[in-house]
Structure 1
């Protein structure tokens, strides 16, 4: 069956959402569809998945994918937590890196538990193993409303002992000429050449983002702490559509923010997350409020909600 035929489609008002349960429970597209001058117009709020990415089930080619049971990287895939050892093998599909990346959920097929015109629930069950020695379950609820997309992501500890956990999402936005991003954070994690954190600082990037940064001026792949849990993206009028904007809002524990914005790329990532890169190995060196992350007792659930609200002239 062709990959696009495996997508789940939701609709509400002018907004459309396509989900790819088999590709990491990912969003394949989030768009506005309307008629103008007798013709159908389509405007993408997220970078749409490519046919090749869908056919290859490549999560890095999706519009957004879930981060569970941790976000970002763990140095060399090695960490300890309350007597259990994490031995996560390299899992970056595009680079030769020793650092465990983005958890497990993005590289597994999810199960469609329920679906309707404007809502879908996807689930995932993962047994304990050497990479992640805890049994856990995860769930995503996608709700499409006429003026917004709401996503709830949750992870539940199914194991007999406490488990560390982090959750988030990894949306890709289109970087059109003139795109601006405005958000407030307290500090940025500076990094080494392998994108691993080396320290916190109130950098020029932090100050630029507070004022509304022109993304063409930035070159980042960094975590931020003390996030306001709100970010606004502004695109000027162009061939894609009218002047438009999108507000990303998150609820606790999504108190940290990741910005991936590389010069010359046609996309950027603005990610709501609950813990910083390598938080387990940095514990004790930095305040818990800067690191984030959660401890889940057996049977306990960590849940987070985030929302994308687009508008246009």
Structure 2
């Protein structure tokens, strides 16, 4: 990997944190995203998350970042439309040319610049204020607190309803990891949401993939873009070629897990989230253990933390 091309450290507007051998680069203007998280081992660099390039940061491409926040909902809303408590949600489709692109994707936070509220050598807090509009008719505030130590990263998300009416809410993060030769993933869940051709959930089942992930599986054997319920809030990633194991862990309400692992792809996503895809439209047919999600009263906050640590 040519780190002159893939390292965004020289780009303007970034916040850099350091602890021991770890370095974290944040891109507040690119959806409050993580641009890079890596460690120095001697003269070598090992990326924990897929690194963004300086060019990716300059053009503000959130899809090229190492991870970005998901809020005020996680992943997709079917047909970009929903109705809640008498208010209509009508989101502009993110990628209408794709089969799944007509479904509103990943929330609103990743598409807006965040502000740096505080920053120190090993911690930072980013904030976002959103005014209600024709797409999302609730005002809200959000924050991300990043805390780096020599063993890893802790990120705490918070979403507060600043409107006068209850608001549906979901939070999460969207980390991209390198799919290196021999990469293995182990994570315990109860069931997987099977998806249709447009990557929307249609049935929750204890599939064969659930059993394989519980025991640990080579990612090269999977081809998934699915939500998992009953997550035990931990995923173990093993990269045998570089002798590194990372543990992704989360706290309530991040009780759901998304695995995006395209066959033959150079990266995969293991996402801690508080709701499954399209939870707002599925709420009338499924319970909270199956779809998650929350309803925030005016002034109420939904918050959760996830960590990434070396094992």
Q: Could you tell me the TM-score, scaled by structure 2's length?
A: 0.95
Asked whether the 8 Å contact 2:96–2:102 carries over to 1, the reply is no
Work out the number of aligned pairs and report it.
302
1:1-313 alignment, distance < 5 Å: 4-35=11-42, 40-92=43-95, 95=98, 97-237=101-241, 241=242, 243-311=243-311
Q: 2: CA distance between counterparts of 1:226 and 1:153?
A: 21
Which runs of no fewer than 5 residues in structure 2 stay unpaired? 1-8
The 3-state SS of whatever aligns with 1:269 is strand
Which runs of no fewer than 5 residues in structure 1 stay unpaired? none
Q: 2: CA distance between counterparts of 1:94 and 1:139?
A: 32
Q: Residues 153-182 of structure 1: CA distance to partner in whole angstroms, max 9, x if unpaired?
A: 010000001000000000000000100000
Q: Residues 215-273 of structure 1: CA distance to partner in whole angstroms, max 9, x if unpaired?
A: 00000000000000011000113xxx3x1100011000000000000011110000000
Asked whether the 8 Å contact 1:22–1:110 carries over to 2, the reply is yes
Q: 2: CA distance between counterparts of 1:83 and 1:284?
A: 15
Asked whether the 8 Å contact 2:189–2:229 carries over to 1, the reply is yes
The 3-state SS of whatever aligns with 1:52 is helix
Q: Residues 90-145 of structure 1: CA distance to partner in whole angstroms, max 9, x if unpaired?
A: 02398462110000000000000000000000000000011100000000000001
Q: 2: CA distance between counterparts of 1:82 and 1:42?
A: 50
Asked whether the 8 Å contact 1:190–1:197 carries over to 2, the reply is yes
Q: 2: CA distance between counterparts of 1:275 and 1:302?
A: 12
The 3-state SS of whatever aligns with 2:50 is coil
Two-structure CA RMSD over aligned residues (Å):
1.3
Q: 2: CA distance between counterparts of 1:202 and 1:178?
A: 26
CA apart distance, 1:55:
1.8
Q: 1: CA distance between counterparts of 2:10 and 2:83?
A: 39
Q: 1: CA distance between counterparts of 2:15 and 2:45?
A: 18
The 3-state SS of whatever aligns with 1:60 is helix
Aligned to 2:3: none
